[in-house]
Structure 1
Amino acid sequence: MKCLQIKRIHHIQICIPTGEENKARQFYSQILGLEEIEKPDALKANGGLWFTVADIELHIGTETHSGISKRHPAFEVENLDIIKKHFIEQNVSIKEETQIPGMKRFSFYDPFQNRIEFVELTSV
């Protein structure tokens, strides 16, 4: 597919049980020495925390471990709208994600139920 140009991994999301943010913060900040970064306001109600690791982000989400996991890699791409149109034409179900300032994004599942997110950075 010529319109798919992956630039880099933007972030990886792992998950912890709901309500365990303080335990995760202690481990990832104090033991691993990662720098915590603020989540966008639109996503704070979901719980969890974000960290910076080298030039990517580590997102730690919360979940109850019932159903399909939110764990996923997110790839930074160019031409997100063209990619989305191509996926729809190929009958790939996409999920519109909560939009956050400076970024357009959507996610989808591969045939094996692995969640993948594509993001395109925009000007704020």
Structure 2
Amino acid sequence: MLLNNTRALIIIFAVTCGLFAHSVDQRAPWFGAIDTGLHEWLTGSTVKFAKNWYREGPVNLKFLMLEEPSSVEFPMLEDRGVYQSYAPGSVLPVYLIAKIIGRPPSAAMVMRYNLLNHFGIAFLLA
């Protein structure tokens, strides 16, 4: 019984990995670039918010997702345009990855993180 369960899990994992690899191959031409298509602004916004946190620190920014970086034009946090459409916690993993590897957030970093999520969800649902 245990051997059958292990074999089934291995097969599910192999199929999931194969399908995931195929989906990654299909998206390879666009990896790391922000195009002008339908939902690229989500990646661009995540990069923008994570870069603000990376430069200034999320605690200093009160974990706000701000549209503008600190500048002479926008001296106060409230002047910088708070984005409220989704929770600030969505930026936290990208920020933490950037801090751990010591590089500012980029579109490729967000896409790699999204691929990891895609794989994890596909595997757990399999």
Q: What TM-score do you get using the length of structure 1 for normalisation?
A: 0.30
More helix by share: 2
More strand by share: 1
Q: What TM-score do you get using the length of structure 2 for normalisation?
A: 0.29
Higher relative contact order (CA 8 A, sep 6+): 2
